[in-house]
Structure 1
Amino acid sequence: MHLDFHLNRGNKFCVCSSLSRVKMVGSKWTKVKVALGLKMNSCLYVSRMAEDLPALASPPPSGRFSDASSLSPTCNSGHRVRMPTTPTPSSSGLRLPKHSTSKSSKICAICLATLKPGRGHAIFTAECSHMFHFHCIASNSKHGHQSCPVCRAKWKEIPFQCPVSDKAHGRSRTSNVPWLQDDSWTTVIRPSPRVASNGNVAPFHSAEPHLFDDDDEVTIQQPSANQNTATVDNFDDDGHLNEAVEVKTYTELSAVSKFTSHKGFSVLIHLKAPAKTLSPQNSTIDGEGLSLMHQNRAPVDLVAVLDVSGSMAGTKLALLKRAMGFVIQNLGPHDRLSVISFSSIARRIFSLRRMTETGRNESIQAVNSLTSNGGTNIAEGLRKAAKVMTDRKWKNPVSSMILLSDGQDTYSNTSPSGASSCSDYHSLLPVSIHPDSASSVRIPVHTFGFGADHDAVLMHLISETSGGTFSFIEAESVIQDAFAQCIGGLLSVIVQDLKVEVECIDPLIRFNRLQSGSYKTILDSDKRKGSIDVGDLYAEEERDFLLTIDIPIDEFHDETSLLQVRCEYRHPVTNKIVILYAASEVKILRPLETGPLLVSMEVDKQRNRLRSAEAMAEAKAAADQGDLTTAVSILEKCRKKLSETVSSRAGDRLCLVLDAELREMQERMANRKVYETSGRAYVLSGLSSHSWQRATARGDSTDSTSLVQAYQTPSMVNMVNLSQTMIFRSSSTRPALRSALSFPARAQPR
């Protein structure tokens, strides 16, 4: 047994002896073992009260520790001793050794006295769950120790005993026992700044303000929303509004016979956002061009909520820091960023800062100072991030959060795989991230589930509830690419608060269904009017909404007017309200007879997309119930129907992507283990992508072709290419993603 005792006066004594060489009472020796939770051959540095230190025997024979002679430090006897090691962190925090007993929680590991409240002294419970008398650990910390004497875990909060005189408090101490002191003197402080290995001073976390209104002032003030309203007839051409949202409509068939009714007739509404005012043609844009690009887009308020629990230790945390560095470097001087880290608790690392040169440098330094330990408290991290958004004094036009976690939330009563956990989490989510909340600001949360142990159900629920997307990151090396794709979209928002309104024209026509995925849809009671709340669009982003109506018999007209489409949105830079109408009313011909008619390719593609999304949801429900055979069968039937459609036979790219996706899901439902570790997350990420019609990263995307999806925009592609160029600077770089549109040129509307 080797123990190294430190006295409060700074003296150091070594005990290098067996039990026969140490003059220690047996009960005390037992208490030492129990309090430290160690075996006989373990070694630790332990703070010790001077009055309780036993007498020391003579040094052991010189040959006793010959096997450890190369280790440090050296004890008083000239023999080198083994230093303690930090336990391997896990998602549940730093753990006690397996051989510790419950009795250890009742004994102070420093003075070996019983830990019982009500004896005139406080009990300090450290972040690693070890307990000490406050005066004992405060005295230990006074000499510079900022880690647990038992497990050596680094502490973020240090116990400190304030040097306040008795007279100042108007009372005196009568106890002759040094540690029975007035505990009103005790407090907890944060450690002073630490010097990192690279010589930079890592900032410590000062006490957070009650109100997070210390954000940097925004540099671009928005005009009043009521200032102007632009329509297609008098559209403003000031360099910002040089294009409007493109609105097209497609009917399932071009004609229906006069004497024939058609139930479930499909009409497609296609929207496409304009391009950015200035769009980089390649990933090497810099200097004045980059500055101009940042000035001619909507600035972003971004809050990154990062998991720094014990399971993120090592390569995961290093790659996360690198990915955040990429985000910071690609934000403009008008964008603002705040970072929230969470483990057992959540901390605001820094307030909303503008990403000027100074802001970037300080942000990178703060991110690099992150360390991993403790549990996983996702709900608390979200609450703190939402508070940053709601308390801010200034607001940029675009607001969003990104959330990354690799583990289960260890602070909520949920089932990691069961659907019942969803209802529990709804009450934990901040009200401000709900799209239907009273808040006038939408705050979508784009979530990233990392690795095989994350809670995919929770992460998908958070994104779905807030209006964000859920990405599944299976490979550690793809964190930066996934972040790049996300911010590539956020930094190109060109349309906000988009709302689509549809109204039937013919008095006999009613809407059967408005298929809009996760977008909020309202249908009037008479089913003649409806609206779809689309929200924000990235530059050149597309949306497709499929409506179904019943076509009545019309013997007296050669054509039937079906419906009118109207769009209204706000431009994020000028804050002007733009009102758009479709080029004309949606009509179909009503001949006496119709020959064989081809189904519209555009309508057929969107039917396939919706059919595939429904099959994914059904297969997931079956897999969650343990019926993987049925789940695989559902996906196989969908693939077969898909292959028989007009668009699939024509080689449509969207159909090819859907088929590959369904096949991948089948493989990830091969057995229970594969489904639990990656299948569920992959399916949920796919559902998120199709329900919002927005690109998500999923699976092992180390091959660049995996990130090419149906909903990627040119801005996303450019940002991912930039990310991959920064990672791989050799001649054998990964092939660049195609900076082309997601789909081939569309056919003319019918």
Structure 2
Amino acid sequence: MVSKWKKMKLALSLNLCTYLPRTLEEEPPSSALNSTESLSDAALLSPLNWPMTPTPSYRTRLSRSISKSSKTCSICLTKMKEGCGHAIFTAECSHMFHFHCIASNVKHGNQVCPVCRAQWKEIPIQKPSLDLPYYPFDRFNNDAAIRLIRCLPPSQRAMNQGHPEPAIFDDDERLEAQIVFLGETDALEKENCDSVRMMNMKMYPEVSAVPQSKSCENFDILVHLKAVTGDQISQYRRAPVDLVTVLDVSGSMGGTKLALLKRAMGFVIQNLGSSDRLSVIAFSSTARRLFPLTRMSDAGRQQALQAVNSLVANGGTNIFDGLRKGAKVMEDRRERNSVASIILLSDGRDTYTTNHPDPSYKAMLPQIPVHSFGFGSDHDASVMHSVSEFSGGTFSFIESESVIQDALAQCIGGLLSVAVQELRVEIEGVCPNVRLSSIKAGSYSSLVNGDGHSGLVDLGDLYADEERDFLVSINIPVEEDGHTPLLKLRCLYIDPLTKEITTVESPVLQIRRPEYVAEEEVVPIEVVRQRNRFLAAEAMAQARTLAEHGDLEAAVKAIENFRLLLAETVAAKSRDRFCVALDLELKEMQGRMRSSHVYEASGRAYILSGLSSHSWQRATARGNSRDFVQAYQTPSMAEMLRRSQAMLLVSPSHQRLIQPLLSFASQPKPR
């Protein structure tokens, strides 16, 4: 006969999830109800209120420490004594509660333990039901018709329930409102919100005057654009987002990595609005969709949190299958939010497609930005950078998994503030003799028409207050008039809220043409700054090519040569912040190419992340510091990053609670 102690040990070792966020249906303890500081729904969902879930390998050890708690009902926080007129419910995870407390707690169908978050196969209910069998439970109970229900698995479409996925992912949740209000305002304020957004445009010639008798080849004009939103609009309104996260849960993600990933995803889920939709793809040897595109309402958040916390790390790494499934979710949608993006996160190399002679990710990628995050020393930075580069997304390198949440926070801070979509800039030469020779726009698509009189640049989506700069080189002829008209711009973009196409035109840019110029003009620092950025990106690309061919010494020298040139520019001598940060970044790259081992472990990823940032003019995370490179960071990205970092600054008592779980999760699997 099996002893009670062995039964308890067996129950503790089966499917025990140490912690999950409190679900919305759970009632807080009575002491919390009496407290003057009640938690909001957002606070209950906050990852700060729940430590991470260790992997199953360490459940038994954690369970033993938990089971030593005193015999106090964890719901009402009063002592439990048998024979005092109150039934006591002992769950299969060994935790005990007053029956009336736990029955009230699970009355909405919640099937997890409020203490350890274990998924229960049996739950108590108090209300009688004619279509379910009656199970007598406790002879000391005074409440009528208490019954124990043996439950079927919940109807969530989670990856670990074995339900076959549909052939077409057209089961996305229907859209409701197309506008998300960010602040607590009354209906009148919302109704009166102005929906107009503007594009600020400026042009900076490299000099403001050219002598009449002089012609210029490759005369640079800086075009500066900024998506400007009014304070009222940015505070209350934004376009809703369809987001698919493709998460690596291969065996290498076990322990602390998976725990931190779950915490980071909890932060993302918490900060999505009720009109935003989320779907999660988890991949290891194969990819599984945890749930379809679902609005992050209260119920949607609960479903997403439970699905993410059910993840277990095992198997190989099939990035291709994960991306393919994420792309299919986007392609098969019945309805579409204004903004759409895919986030890919992995710590390893694809172990399933590398055997092919030329594994191509491009053919199956949708025309949706894929923002990829590679972390640790073993991820395939080249593949992940290529995926992002082709799709119009960014590549971030996370050296330490402890900043996964901050990296994702910065990214979604931008995605949740898209102000302009499908931005196209048309450039037209005004003077018949002015010709466009080239457009330097980084990774953005640009074109100079055959006659040289016009050109265009496609800049895609811009976040609120995000800026774009590109250089237009033109040829200026000899001119006897007092001035020469050069260029004018026309911007066309889609407002993501109204879906209307808006056109904005700039004034004509002119330069003075005196007989002679007394002294040479100083090139504006704005022009110098962007020249430095393009030259830095070229130096990074050259250094990467040399390093890939094994010539690290030449790679370091290529960056050093540019740093010497950079130091002589006006921007460097005036201690321009962008220039100083750029030099520090280049110096860091040199340090990460001091040996082939260091380059393989972090140098390649660091350089590619820098290239991604400067070519798209968008903030990325790189390295292991929380002080992210702030170039291109928008106010909304900075605010979301601040929110993430503030969440991690927990109280000492909370820190003491989290650290043991992290140490348990990082211990080797017992044999």
Q: Structure 1 residue 242: deviation in Å? A: 4.0
Write the deviation string for residues 665-722 of structure 1: whole angstroms up to 9, x where unpaired. 00000111000000000000000000100000001123xxx31421000000000010
Q: Structure 1 residue 522: deviation in Å? A: 1.9
Give the distance between the partners of 1:670 and 1:362, measured in 2 at CA: 47
Give the distance between the partners of 1:717 and 1:451, measured in 2 at CA: 24
Aligned counterpart in structure 1 of residue 277 of structure 2, from 313, 333, 336: 336
1:252 paired with 2:206, answer: yes
SS at match of 1:480: helix
CA contact (8 A) 1:383 1:429 kept: no
Give the distance between the partners of 1:212 and 1:729, measured in 2 at CA: 40
Which residue identity does 1:553 align to in structure 2?
V
Q: Structure 1 residue 339: deviation in Å? A: 0.2
**Which residue of structure 2 aligns with residue 588 of structure 1?**
511
Give the distance between the partners of 1:726 and 1:300, measured in 2 at CA: 23
Give the distance between the partners of 1:268 and 1:469, measured in 2 at CA: 24
**Which residue of structure 2 aligns with residue 429 of structure 1?**
362
CA contact (8 A) 1:304 1:402 kept: yes
SS at match of 2:397: strand
Q: Structure 1 residue 414: deviation in Å? A: 6.0
Q: Structure 1 residue 431: deviation in Å? A: 3.8
Instruction: Provide the aligned C-alpha RMSD in A.
Output: 2.7
**Which residue of structure 1 aligns with residue 628 of structure 2?**
707
Distance 1:732 1:505, change over 3 A: farther
Distance 1:716 1:269, change over 3 A: same
CA contact (8 A) 1:695 1:710 kept: yes
Which residue identity does 2:552 align to in structure 1?
L
CA contact (8 A) 2:178 2:275 kept: no
CA contact (8 A) 1:382 1:430 kept: no
Counting only pairs closer than 5 Å after superposition, residues 37-186 of structure 1 correspond to structure 2 as none
Q: Structure 1 residue 278: deviation in Å? A: 4.5
Q: Structure 1 residue 325: deviation in Å? A: 0.3
Give the distance between the partners of 2:619 and 2:221, measured in 1 at CA: 24
Give the distance between the partners of 1:306 and 1:276, measured in 2 at CA: 36
Runs of 4+ in 1 over 6 A off after TM superposition: 193-196
Give the distance between the partners of 2:616 and 2:363, measured in 1 at CA: 21
Normalising to structure 1: TM-score of the pair? 0.64
Which residue identity does 2:641 align to in structure 1?
V
CA contact (8 A) 2:431 2:486 kept: yes
Which residue identity does 1:264 align to in structure 2?
N
Write the deviation string for residues 299-358 of structure 1: whole angstroms up to 9, x where unpaired. 000000000000000100000000000000000000000000001000000000000011
SS at match of 1:273: strand
Q: Structure 1 residue 586: deviation in Å? A: 1.1
Distance 1:447 1:732, change over 3 A: farther
**Which residue of structure 2 aligns with residue 274 of structure 1?**
228
Counting only pairs closer than 5 Å after superposition, residues 516-555 of structure 1 correspond to structure 2 as 516-554=441-479
- Worse-matched range after superposition: 710-719 or 203-212: 203-212
- Worse-matched range after superposition: 484-493 or 706-715: 706-715
Give the distance between the partners of 2:211 and 2:491, measured in 1 at CA: 31
1:209 paired with 2:163, answer: no
Give the distance between the partners of 1:473 and 1:465, measured in 2 at CA: 21
CA contact (8 A) 1:379 1:429 kept: no
1:379 paired with 2:320, answer: yes
Give the distance between the partners of 2:277 and 2:384, measured in 1 at CA: 24
Distance 1:238 1:609, change over 3 A: farther
Which residue identity does 2:167 align to in structure 1?
H
1:408 paired with 2:349, answer: yes
Give the total of aligned pairs.
502
User: Which ranges in structure 2 are unaligned for 5 or more consecutive residues?
Assistant: 8-12, 14-55, 57-109, 121-153, 180-190, 655-671
Write the deviation string for residues 41-89 of structure 1: whole angstroms up to 9, x where unpaired. xxxxxxxxxxxxxxxxxxxxxxxxxxxxxx989xxxxxxxxx9xxxxxx
CA contact (8 A) 1:628 1:669 kept: yes
CA contact (8 A) 2:240 2:338 kept: yes
Distance 1:309 1:569, change over 3 A: same
Aligned counterpart in structure 1 of residue 547 of structure 2, from 623, 628, 639: 623
CA contact (8 A) 2:227 2:465 kept: yes
Aligned counterpart in structure 1 of residue 117 of structure 2, from 198, 206, 230: 198
Give the distance between the partners of 1:710 and 1:477, measured in 2 at CA: 22
**Which residue of structure 2 aligns with residue 220 of structure 1?**
177
Write the deviation string for residues 518-554 of structure 1: whole angstroms up to 9, x where unpaired. 1111221112211101010000000001011111111
**Which residue of structure 1 aligns with residue 91 of structure 2?**
none
Give the distance between the partners of 2:493 and 2:640, measured in 1 at CA: 26
CA contact (8 A) 1:308 1:370 kept: yes
- Worse-matched range after superposition: 523-532 or 264-273: 523-532
**Which residue of structure 1 aligns with residue 563 of structure 2?**
639
Distance 1:639 1:654, change over 3 A: same
Q: Structure 1 residue 732: deviation in Å? A: 13
Q: Structure 1 residue 413: deviation in Å? A: 2.4
Counting only pairs closer than 5 Å after superposition, residues 280-429 of structure 1 correspond to structure 2 as 293=236, 296-413=237-354, 424-425=358-359, 427-429=360-362
1:472 paired with 2:393, answer: no
User: Which ranges in structure 1 are unaligned for 5 or more consecutive residues?
Assistant: 1-10, 13-70, 74-82, 84-146, 148-192, 223-236, 281-291, 416-420, 434-441, 734-750
Q: Structure 1 residue 279: deviation in Å? A: 7.3
Q: Structure 1 residue 243: deviation in Å? A: 4.0
Give the distance between the partners of 2:211 and 2:405, measured in 1 at CA: 56
CA contact (8 A) 2:252 2:347 kept: yes
Give the distance between the partners of 2:322 and 2:232, measured in 1 at CA: 36
CA contact (8 A) 2:197 2:495 kept: no
CA contact (8 A) 1:382 1:429 kept: no
Give the distance between the partners of 1:685 and 1:276, measured in 2 at CA: 32
**Which residue of structure 2 aligns with residue 167 of structure 1?**
none
Aligned counterpart in structure 2 of residue 691 of structure 1, from 615, 624, 627: 615
**Which residue of structure 2 aligns with residue 168 of structure 1?**
none
Q: Structure 1 residue 205: deviation in Å? A: 4.2
**Which residue of structure 2 aligns with residue 38 of structure 1?**
none
Distance 1:564 1:699, change over 3 A: same
Write the deviation string for residues 271-297 of structure 1: whole angstroms up to 9, x where unpaired. 0011365478xxxxxxxxxxx73xx11
CA contact (8 A) 1:335 1:355 kept: yes
1:720 paired with 2:671, answer: no
Give the distance between the partners of 1:210 and 1:607, measured in 2 at CA: 50
**Which residue of structure 1 aligns with residue 417 of structure 2?**
492
CA contact (8 A) 2:324 2:365 kept: no
Q: Structure 1 residue 219: deviation in Å? A: 0.9
Which residue identity does 2:401 align to in structure 1?
E
Write the deviation string for residues 422-478 of structure 1: whole angstroms up to 9, x where unpaired. xx34x3335452xxxxxxxx4100000010000000000000000000000001110
CA contact (8 A) 2:220 2:471 kept: yes
1:675 paired with 2:599, answer: yes
Distance 1:455 1:707, change over 3 A: same
SS at match of 1:245: strand
Which structure's relative contact order is higher, taking Cα pairs within 8 Å and 6+ residues apart? 2
SS at match of 1:572: coil
Give the distance between the partners of 2:460 and 2:415, measured in 1 at CA: 13
